[in-house]
């Protein structure tokens, strides 16, 4: 992207991107890594995410072809999830997430699993994948290259790296799912995309006047200036129209999109327990009453009966115990007192 022009409106933004998609040289990509085929494509990829998060290419981006005018409707959804024991979410990040410049970013389940998988690739495959985060479970060792790099790598080594990555994604990705949790509070941007062509051939001259004339790259579009001069002359107007139909410079070098909110209402998704404690006791009481005729009053009476039984049993046990106290007067000798006590006890038994 070389240049962009943006204008805001009620609840969105309109952006025009200049791609500078002019051919400067012929590049032969035969014999290079298949990953380089991405450079053969034209257009742009738009990432839609929070400014404090690391975007995910699979879920938070979409491609845009040159010469298109795209309407992007965005719905902002706030998620509030339940923590343990109801669900596996956390307010405290499982790991700290950083971008490649070392800037801390908000924790998300996707960034956590990417960091985990990237660490496994470094440890097991001996290389790195640019789309994975290397932090925080592994630091890139010195001398470790990109897994798609062909520098000082044989064909067998490249095939082994590819097989290693496939094996990790198939057999060990579930380990990362177990190590990562969803944040209990998260903002999601749901989008709806409606593409169209821009601009039509009849409006190319107007587009040139508004978006190209006077800018640093305007000299690359001088053919439209020539067409304007020819269109002003009645004798060459027909020829100018033919030239305008054949010229595709604007179509090949510009992208326009309008990004706006689908609704001014904020959407909130709150996860609640399917059954609360009150619902649990109500359901239990209803089930007991349905199948055994036991009501809550009967349960209270049974509890009271058990309490009374335990209480009376403990009282009876306390009354059956005999406590013998030996009292010795101070004025009598121990032997004389013991003899007297034994005589009184003997008379009682008689």
Domain boundaries, the chain: 92-183, 202-252, 275-315
> β-strands 185-197, 68-80: how paired?
antiparallel
Question: In this model, does residue 8 exceed pLDDT 50?
Answer: no
Kindly indicate the confidence band of residue 26, based on its pLDDT and cuts at 50, 70 and 90. low
Average pLDDT over residues 176-191: 84
Kindly indicate the confidence band of residue 237, based on its pLDDT and cuts at 50, 70 and 90. confident
Average pLDDT over residues 100-108: 73
Determine the pLDDT at residue 81.
Answer: 87
Q: For the chain, what percent of residues have pLDDT higher than 90? A: 1
Determine the pLDDT at residue 321.
Answer: 54
Determine the pLDDT at residue 134.
Answer: 44
Quick check: 127 and 143 in contact, CB under 8 A? no
Kindly indicate the confidence band of residue 141, based on its pLDDT and cuts at 50, 70 and 90. low
Determine the pLDDT at residue 349.
Answer: 42
* Locus of tokens 């978006």: 211
Kindly indicate the confidence band of residue 337, based on its pLDDT and cuts at 50, 70 and 90. very low
Per residue in 47-71, pLDDT tens? 888 877 777 777 788 888 888 888 8
Question: In whole angstroms, what is the distance from residue 52 CA to residue 321 CA?
Answer: 76
Q: For the chain, give the mean pLDDT.
A: 75
Determine the pLDDT at residue 133.
Answer: 53
User: Which range in 102-106, 303-307, 335-339 is most confidently predicted, on average pLDDT?
Assistant: 303-307
Asked if the bond preceding 112 is cis, omega within 30° of 0, the reply is no
Name the residue with higher pLDDT: 217 or 142: 217
Question: In whole angstroms, what is the distance from residue 73 CA to residue 50 CA?
Answer: 16
Question: In this model, does residue 45 exceed pLDDT 80?
Answer: yes
Q: Which residues neighbour 335 within 8 Å (Cβ) at sequence distance 6 or greater?
A: none
Average pLDDT over residues 172-199: 82
Question: In this model, does residue 157 exceed pLDDT 50?
Answer: yes
> β-strands 68-80, 254-261: how paired?
parallel
Determine the pLDDT at residue 328.
Answer: 54
User: Which range in 130-144, 145-159, 160-174 is most confidently predicted, on average pLDDT?
Assistant: 160-174
Question: In this model, does residue 311 exceed pLDDT 60?
Answer: yes
User: Shortest CA distance to 117 belongs to which of 106, 130, 104, 107?
Assistant: 130
Q: Name the burial class of residue 93, with classes exposed (0-12), middle (13-18) and buried (19+) by CB atoms within 10 angstroms of its CB.
A: middle
Average pLDDT over residues 187-201: 80
* Residue 141, both tokens: 């060792």
What is 92-183's CATH number?
Answer: 1.10.287
């Amino acid at each position: 992207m070389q240049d962009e022009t943006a204008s805001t409106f009620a609840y969105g933004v309109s952006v025009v991107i200049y791609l500078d998609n002019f051919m400067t040289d012929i590049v032969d990509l035969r014999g290079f890594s298949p990953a380089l085929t991405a450079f053969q494509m034209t257009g742009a990829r738009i990432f839609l995410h929070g400014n404090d998060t690391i975007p995910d290419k699979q879920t938070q981006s979409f491609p845009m072809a040159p010469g298109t005018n795209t309407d992007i409707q965005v719905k902002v959804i706030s998620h509030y999830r339940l923590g343990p024991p109801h669900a596996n979410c956390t307010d405290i990040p499982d790991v700290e997430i950083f971008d490649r410049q070392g800037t801390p970013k908000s924790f998300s389940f996707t960034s956590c699993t990417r960091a985990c998988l990237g660490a496994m690739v470094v440890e097991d495959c001996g290389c790195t994948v640019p789309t994975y985060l290397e932090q925080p479970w592994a630091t890139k060792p010195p001398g470790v290259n990109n897994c798609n790099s062909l520098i000082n790598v044989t064909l067998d080594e490249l095939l082994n790296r590819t097989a290693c990555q496939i094996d990790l994604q198939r057999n060990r990705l579930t380990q990362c799912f177990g190590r990562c949790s969803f944040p209990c509070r998260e903002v999601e941007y749901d989008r709806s995309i409606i593409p169209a062509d821009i601009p039509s051939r009849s409006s190319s001259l107007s587009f040139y006047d508004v978006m190209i004339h006077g800018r640093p790259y305007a000299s690359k579009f001088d053919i439209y200036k020539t067409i304007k001069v020819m269109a002003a002359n009645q004798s060459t107007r027909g020829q100018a129209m033919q030239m305008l139909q054949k010229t595709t410079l604007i179509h090949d070098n510009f992208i326009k999109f309008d990004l706006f909110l689908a609704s001014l209402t904020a959407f909130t998704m709150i996860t609640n327990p399917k059954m609360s404690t009150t619902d649990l006791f109500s359901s239990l009481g209803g089930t007991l009453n349905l199948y055994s005729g036991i009501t809550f009053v009967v349960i209270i009476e049974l509890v009271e009966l058990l309490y009374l039984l335990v209480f009376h049993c403990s009282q009876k046990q306390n009354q059956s115990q005999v406590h013998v106290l030996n009292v010795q007067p101070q004025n009598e000798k121990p032997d004389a007192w013991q003899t007297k006590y034994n005589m009184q006890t003997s008379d009682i038994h008689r």
